Structures are given as C-alpha cells and as structure tokens.
Amino acid sequence: MPFNQASLKQRLAGKFIGHHLHYYETIGSTNDEAVRLGMKGSPEGTALVAETQSAGKGRMRRAWHSPPGANIYTSIILRPQFEPDRAPQISLAAGVAVAETLNPYCPGDVCLKWPNDVLINEKKVCGILTQMKMSGSAIDFVVVGIGINVNWNHEQFPEDIQSMATSVSIEAGREISRLELIIRLYENMAKCYRELAQNGFAPIREKWLGLTSMIGKSISVMFQEEKVTGKAVGLDNDGALLLLTAGNETVKVSAGDATILKR
Ligand code: BTN
C-alpha cells in the first residue's frame, strides 16, 4: 500500500516531529534534501518522507537500497542546543527510539548494535545515518536519517544483503501499516530527544545498554584499515564504544563496523 500522504499530514499536525512534513514520491536521498532544507532554515522537527530513493545513502559511503511501496525512508531536522561533541548521542537516542518503536511488533527480539544498527533476531532491520552542520563552533542542525525495512519480502532483498537483513513484516509474520509505524517512530524520537536535551545522556545510555546484546561479548571493530578487538564494556559520554583489550587496556572506538565474535 502506498503512503497516504493526506492521512500522514493530518495525523502529524501539531506534533513536534512531523508537523512540518515534506513528502516525496521519489527523491535522491532524504538526508541530502534535509541538509538543503536545514541550510535554508527549516525549523526543528521538520520531517522528510520518501516512497523511494534513487540514491539512498548508508554509513561508510555505502548505498541504502530504497525500493518503493515497502519501507520507510525518513530524515528529521533537529537543532540541538548542546555542544557538538554530544552529537553522536542523538544517533544513539534515535536507535533507542527505533528499537522502542519496533519492539511491540516483535516483543523481545529487537536489539541494538553499535553504533546505530537496529536488529531483529540478529538481522539488520534499520540503519541510521546522522549528519551535522556547524555554524562557527556550535551545531546549526543535525539530520537524522532513518531507513526501516518494513514490508519487504525476503525474495525482494538484493542478494548481497539477504543473509544479514530482514524486515518487520518477515519477523512479525504479517503486513505492517507504515503509517502507524512512522507516527510511533516520530513520537518515540521526540521523547528520546527531549530526554537527551533535558536530562543529559545518562538515561538514554542506560536504555541503549539495556537494548544491546553486545556488552560482555568479544567484539571487533573495523575502521578504515584498522581492527580493534576486545570485550565490550560500555558506552562513553560521546557515544564511543568502550572495549577492554586482551592487554587489559580500555580503548574508545568512535567509528567503524562492529562484529560480535562468536566465541
Ligand atoms: C546505514 O548504513 O546503516 C544507515 C542507513 C541510513 C538510510 C536512511 S534512509 C533515509 C535516509 N536517507 C538516506 O539517504 N539515508 C538515510
């Protein structure tokens, strides 16, 4: 079923996220467009939704498959009043918001993988790409881009991601209303963002740690050509993953692709 644009606008009227809504049948990337709108001064809480993206962007310069009619591709403009080094906390808060949104569809099976993947039964269902624009030494705005595989069937997945990706409908065993899902997503994102702004990172960090299965496990993180391995022991204030290495040293990993080692 296509998104019902009129229902979406009506249901989001007056909401912090989505009151200012831009809907596109097709677009290159909602993140790229959100950056353009942010630079033109679009207000905090502006949301962009696309039925399909022709150049969807993932982390580490990867592409994000964005076929029409099945999934959610959205970007949200935020204008946080805090220091730029806290920006990664917004990505982690978005992960918590997505996990809390998906959990009722697949209770107990949703989990977070650092830095910002959401998994159901250990397969990736959502990716988050956060971009920040500065104004001098302060944050001008942050774009939180969220892609959720919602009603994608297994046969429709590109071969290269078939073994590691899933969709909400596959895991829940039924078709999912994208309209209901996106409305809950924006509500949860608004709640997590307000929590972060009002009470600092601690409550979001606790929620994040409660939603991940990484802590205590042996993890390796690849960033560019470098690989760091250790036991995941926590999250730092700036959102970095803390690893305890074999040499009993705690190292901070700020970016990269994490693998949970099966041993
Ligand atoms: C990842 O690599 O895991 C992040 C994927 C983020 C994809 C979303 S879809 C909506 C928004 N627009 C984009 O081009 N990317 C993000």
What would the 3-class secondary structure string for the chain be? Answer: CCCCHHHHHHHHCCCCCCCCEEEEEEECCHHHHHHHHHHCCCCCCCEEEEEEECCCECHHHCECCCCCCCCEEEEEEECCCCCHHHHHHHHHHHHHHHHHHHCCCCCCCEEEECCCEEEECCEEEEEEEEEEEEECCEEEEEEEEEEECCCCCHHHCCHHHCCCECCHHHHHCCCCCHHHHHHHHHHHHHHHHHHHHHHCCHHHHHHHHHHECCCCCEEEEEECCEEEEEEEEEECCCCCEEEECCCCCEEEECCCEEEECCC
* Ligand 1 centroid, distance to 126 Cα (angstroms): 8
Percent of the chain past pLDDT 90, that is, above it, reads 89
* Ligand 1 centroid, distance to 75 Cα (angstroms): 8
Over the stretch 26-59, which tens digit does the pLDDT of each residue have? 999 999 999 999 999 999 999 999 999 999 999 9
Pairing mode of beta strands 47-53, 21-27: parallel
Q: Please, what is the average pLDDT of the chain?
A: 95
* Ligand 1 centroid, distance to 63 Cα (angstroms): 8
Q: What is the pLDDT of residue 225?
A: 81
* Ligand 1 centroid, distance to 236 Cα (angstroms): 24
Confidence of residue 3 (pLDDT cuts 50, 70, 90): confident
Does residue 188 have its Cβ closer than 6 Å to ligand 1? no
Pairing mode of beta strands 218-223, 257-260: antiparallel
Q: Is the pLDDT of residue 263 over 60?
A: no
Q: Which atom of ligand 1 is nearest to the CA of 53?
A: 14
Over the stretch 97-124, which tens digit does the pLDDT of each residue have? 999 999 999 999 999 999 989 999 999 9
pTM (two decimals): 0.96
Over the stretch 125-178, which tens digit does the pLDDT of each residue have? 999 999 999 999 999 999 999 999 999 998 889 999 999 999 999 999 999 999
Q: Which atom of ligand 1 is nearest to the CA of 29?
A: 14
* Ligand 1 centroid, distance to 191 Cα (angstroms): 21
Q: What is the pLDDT of residue 1?
A: 67
Write the residue with the smallest CA distance to atom 16 of ligand 1.
145
| Rounded alpha-carbon distances, angstroms, from residue 42 to 21, 207, 218, 260 | 11, 30, 43, 39
Establish how many alpha carbons lie within 13 A of residue 26's alpha carbon, considering only the half-sphere containing its beta carbon.
4
Query: To which residue do tokens 């970016």 refer?
Result: 255
CA 16 to chain centre: 18
Does residue 128 have its Cβ closer than 6 Å to ligand 1? yes
Q: Is the pLDDT of residue 213 over 60?
A: yes
Q: Are 141 and 78 in contact (CB under 8 A)?
A: yes
Does residue 115 have its Cβ closer than 6 Å to ligand 1? no
CA–CA separation, 217 and 234 (whole Å): 11
Does residue 56 have its Cβ closer than 6 Å to ligand 1? yes
Closest CA to 34 of 56, 12, 15: 56
Lowest mean pLDDT among 156-160, 210-214, 259-263: 259-263
Does residue 31 have its Cβ closer than 6 Å to ligand 1? yes
- Ligand 1: residue of 31, 125, 167, 185 to mutate (most ligand atoms within 8 A of CB) is 31
Q: What is the pLDDT of residue 226?
A: 85
Q: Which atom of ligand 1 is nearest to the CA of 58?
A: 2
Q: Is the pLDDT of residue 184 over 60?
A: yes
* Ligand 1 centroid, distance to 31 Cα (angstroms): 7
Q: Which atom of ligand 1 is nearest to the CA of 116?
A: 3
Q: Is the pLDDT of residue 257 over 70?
A: yes
Q: Which atom of ligand 1 is nearest to the CA of 117?
A: 3
